[in-house]
Structure 1
Amino acid sequence: MKSTISCRFFSLGRVALASLFLMAAVGCSKQQDVQVLKLAHDLDQSHAVHKAMVFMGVRLHELSGGTMDVNVYPSGQLGTERELLELLQIGSLAMTKVSASPLEGFVPQMKVFSIPYIFRDQEHFWRVLESDIGRSMLQAGDHVRLRGLGYYDAGSRSFYTVNRPIHKPADLSGLKIRVQESQTSMRMVSSLGGAPTPISWGELYTALSQGVVDGAENNPPSFFLSKHFEVSKYYTLDEHTYVPDVLLISSHIWNNLNPQQQAWLQQAVDESVDHQRELWEISTNEALAAVKAAGVEVIYPDKAAFIEQVKGMHESYRGEPVYELMQNIMSMQ
């Protein structure tokens, strides 16, 4: 069986750490007869998705009889989402978790998740992900060496702001709203009247505190765990998009696993997806209760005005491949 290499590194700069991480593929002490998959992501260790990935590693170890393991590197230790994707593409990192929004730069079909009000509710969202449509989208990145293994629940994304409550789209007028590195997310905010401003997740707390942006949009657990509620006192649950997290493996690494190893890994991932959905529901309820207790005004707006506002954006995709995908999703019962 192919052996893998694992090392411990002390506190170094991210670039230096990433460089050593790459070198670990060709040097350091060997762990004989154990296939170790290195997984890196940018979430805090208290996040439901991180806990699910740890669970996945435990299940993989059990299913494989101890012949496969996952080493998880959280909190952006090895780079930003885009940097981690690039490491997967060259086979220097086995796995990562990214939001579907920045993934659209590699897999165009993923932009559909950042188009607002495509999904009617959470039940509709999961029916799509568990259908042939959702499964085919996971494989759509194979040509760029990014193979999807499963979707983790990231809930619905809603606006939060520092000084101005958002009750209707017109309230977003003139506000600088942080978005992910996604052209579709930028179009979404623009269509609702805001000024989209791409900023990395790690820099957002400071940007909100210093007035670089007036607000952002995300799900309740991320709003809470990031401590953005400390500076953003209004949270409007308009639920404009449902953007899942996608667990990816380097196609190069996947193809070097034998069929039994692939089956073990996929089973461990599938079980972690179910586990994470349970954790997510709990963390969402806890997050909303916590931010309310901290003095955040949680607003439940009439979504009809928001849905009407983005119809033009929907029509702007007519003639593009994603338009048919949108129609197929929206017509699914």
Structure 2
Amino acid sequence: MTIKTTLTTALLASTLLAGAASACEITLRSSDTHPDGYPTVEGVKAMAAEVLERTDGRICIEVFPSSQLGEEKDTIEQTQFGVIDMVRASFGSFNDIVPVTQLMSLPYLFTSVDHSHAVLDGPIGEEIAADFEVADLVALAWYDGGARSFYNSERPITSIEDLAGMKFRVMQNDVFVDMMDALGANATPMPYGEVYSSIQTGVIDGAENNFPSYDSSGHAEVAKYFTLDEHLIVPELVAMSRSSWDNLSSEDQTVLREAAQNSSVLQRELWAAQEAASLEKVTAAGSEVITDIDKTPFIEAMAPVYQKYVTTPEAQDLVARIRATE
């Protein structure tokens, strides 16, 4: 099935759902911080379309994009308590409640996006999914968040020395703060929705994210220098509230899990296409993309970060197995 066909199916199902929501026996609410049309949002919509079809309209998933239900940290907590049924979020936002995601968020842990897929789609991914259950969450599907790089409003970053003293927004977790400290920059944790105005007003010099986020958020308008260092390849996932999950029959649970995993295939395809389109768009609009950079000093600077977070034999074994995965 092509991307176009799948999206058409999702659109038709969304239209049907909007017109016949009252016919649904079960309606699940799913949150996303990204705008409508973004690959993660379209992925969950495709999941909703498959669930709607396979349950003959009994189970509907309403997707709320653009932080309508709150920022990631808030919606994860709401999902834990069953206030929201599902959430799509980055591993980075789970660091405080699912410790293994902290390891998965270590800088330069993955050599490429394909490497991260190989890890998550295998036995290691099954182990990680089990850890979410302790936090009253059911991990349904791994989504692609691409590679995160630095962008700023001040100057091109071509070496680690260029980062010295600069203020960068990071997600609200300790690993990312320590990463910036190790690089000689100043970390400023803040909600994603505040980044644009903070760069515009000089509260921060820049942030770090992937091309689609850099583009869709409008950050390219206020931070023209993008350095493709790819320091973080942080997976994302669709997670469901344990209480909402337990209210479903085993048959319906199977439908949701299979639909979520099918949506992951589509989401990754959409993501790759969006990355290429976003790169072309921001470059045409005047952003300077710096690709000539020696990553070795950046990687070597992460030694104290790994020493701090990879402390137990179990963690050391996991990191070793991730690096050995092909």
| Length-normalised TM-score, structure 1 | 0.88
Matched residue type, 2:297: A
Given that 1:234 and 1:297 are in contact with CA atoms closer than 8 Å, whether structure 2 keeps it comes out as: yes
Q: Is residue 2:29 matched to residue 1:43?
A: no
Distance change (3 Å), C-alpha of 1:167 and 1:127: same
Instruction: Name the structure 2 match of 1:4.
Output: none
Offset, 1:85: 1.4
- Partners of 2:24 and 2:218 lie apart in 1 by 43
Per the TM alignment, residue 32 of structure 1 is displaced from its structure 2 partner at its CA by: 5.7
1:327 shift after superposition: 2.0
Q: Which residue of 2 aligns with 1:106?
A: 97
% same residue:
35
Name the residue aligned to 2:316.
323
Structure 1: which 5+ runs fail to align? 1-29
Counterpart for residue 304 of structure 1: 296
Q: Secondary structure at the match of 2:309?
A: coil
CA contact (8 A) 1:114 1:188 kept: no
- Cα drift, residue 317 of structure 1: 3.2
Distance verdict in 2 for CA 1:106–1:318, change over 3 Å: closer
How do 1:123-138 residues align onto structure 2 when only pairs under 5 Å count? 123-138=114-129
**Unpaired stretches in structure 2, ≥5 consecutive residues:** 1-20
Q: Which amino acid aligns with 1:110?
A: T
Letter of the 2:177 counterpart: M
The alpha carbon displacement at 1:318 in A equals 4.3
- Per-residue deviation, residues 267-307 of structure 1 (Å, max 9, x unmatched): 11011100011100100000011111011110112222221
Q: Counterpart in 1 of 2:56?
A: 65
Is residue 295 of structure 1 aligned with residue 286 of structure 2? yes
Match of 2:229 among 233, 238, 247: 238
Counterpart secondary structure, 2:138:
strand
Deviation at 1:33, TM superposition (A): 5.8
SS in structure 2 of the partner of residue 167 of structure 1:
coil
CA contact (8 A) 1:97 1:247 kept: yes
Q: Which residue of 1 aligns with 2:12?
A: none
Kindly provide the amino acid, as one letter, of the partner of residue 85 in structure 1.
I
What is the distance in 2 between the residues matched to 1:256 and 1:125? 32
Which letter does structure 2 place at the counterpart of 1:312? P
How many aligned residue pairs are there?
304
Q: Which amino acid aligns with 1:285?
A: A
Query: For 2:31 and 2:41, how far apart are their aligned partners in 1?
Result: 10
In angstroms, what is the RMSD of aligned CA positions?
1.4
